[in-house]
């Protein structure tokens, strides 16, 4: 990745539909991303040649959701009988199990899960591991959503041709005015999208027209 390309990628990536009005505020683009927002995706989204393609501005990898990855960690066997709810979805964290009612002679005795400190310790340990699993699944799904979005953008490129463009912006210019303010990169570079369906990799690079 050349220094010039690195300098260009300081602020904004945006999709522009050329059929509409001239954009004066980058927030009006159909889609836009800052470098910081793309860095938050973690593994699977690589910037400035950090992936397989050293010339890519952005490289997005299709995520592989195997059964092993999607299977959540299970609680310890000693407390598993208490867990009567599903914990298979990353958005539904485990909760302290409901109390049990035991029959002792002619009496009903309520037993609360958290009354046993060792039992509670096992639960908290499991919940911590489960939370790590859930966070990773959630992150991977966000990467996959981004991949699918750029996949659709690439399809739009094939259909509409020069009707849309993908831009890289650098150095935001701000000008406030009563009628029409400006918040837009001073410098933009047109980008192309390349799709490797076999590998499941989308790369975004400057067009052959150069900078």
Tell me: the pLDDT tens digits for 120-169?
999 999 999 999 999 999 999 999 999 999 999 888 888 776 667 777 77
Residue 29 is classified by DSSP as: S
Strands (E), the chain: 12-17, 31-34, 45-47, 58-61, 100-104, 107-111, 164-175, 182-196, 201-206
How far apart, in whole angstroms, are the C-alpha atoms of residue 51 and residue 64?
17
pTM of the model: 0.78
How far apart, in whole angstroms, are the C-alpha atoms of residue 138 and residue 3?
34
Long-range pairs, 168-175, Cβ under 8 A, ≥24 = 168/8, 168/9, 168/12, 168/13, 168/57, 168/206, 169/11, 169/12, 169/13, 169/14, 169/26, 170/7, 170/8, 170/9, 170/10, 170/11, 170/12, 171/10, 171/11, 172/11, 172/12, 172/26
Average pLDDT over residues 103-126: 88
Spell 52-71 as b/e; 16+ CB within 10 A means b: ebeebbbbbbbbeeeeeeee
The predicted-structure confidence for 30-89, as pLDDT tens digits, reads as follows: 778 888 889 999 999 999 889 899 889 899 999 999 999 999 999 999 999 999 999 999
Beta bridge partners of 204: 58, 193
Query: What pLDDT score does 101 carry?
Result: 84
């Amino acid at each position: 990745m050349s220094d010039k390309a690195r300098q260009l990628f300081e602020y904004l990536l945006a999709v522009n539909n050329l059929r509409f009005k001239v954009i004066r505020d980058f927030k009006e683009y159909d889609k836009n991303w800052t470098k910081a927002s793309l860095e938050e995706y973690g593994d699977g989204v690589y910037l400035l040649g950090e992936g397989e393609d050293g010339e890519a501005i952005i490289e997005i990898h299709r995520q592989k959701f195997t059964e092993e990855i999607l299977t959540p960690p299970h609680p310890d066997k000693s407390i598993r009988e208490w867990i009567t709810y599903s914990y298979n979805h990353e958005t539904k964290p485990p909760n302290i199990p409901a109390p049990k009612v035991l029959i002792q002679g002619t009496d009903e005795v309520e037993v609360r899960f958290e009354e046993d400190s060792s039992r509670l310790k096992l639960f908290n340990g499991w919940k911590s591991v489960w939370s790590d699993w859930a966070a990773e699944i959630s992150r991977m799904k966000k990467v996959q959503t981004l991949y699918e979005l750029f996949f659709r953008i690439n399809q739009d490129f094939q259909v509409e041709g020069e009707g849309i463009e993908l831009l890289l912006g650098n150095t935001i210019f701000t000008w406030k005015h009563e009628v029409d303010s400006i918040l837009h990169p001073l410098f933009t570079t047109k980008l192309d999208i390349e799709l490797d369906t076999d590998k499941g990799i989308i790369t975004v690079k400057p067009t052959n027209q150069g900078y």
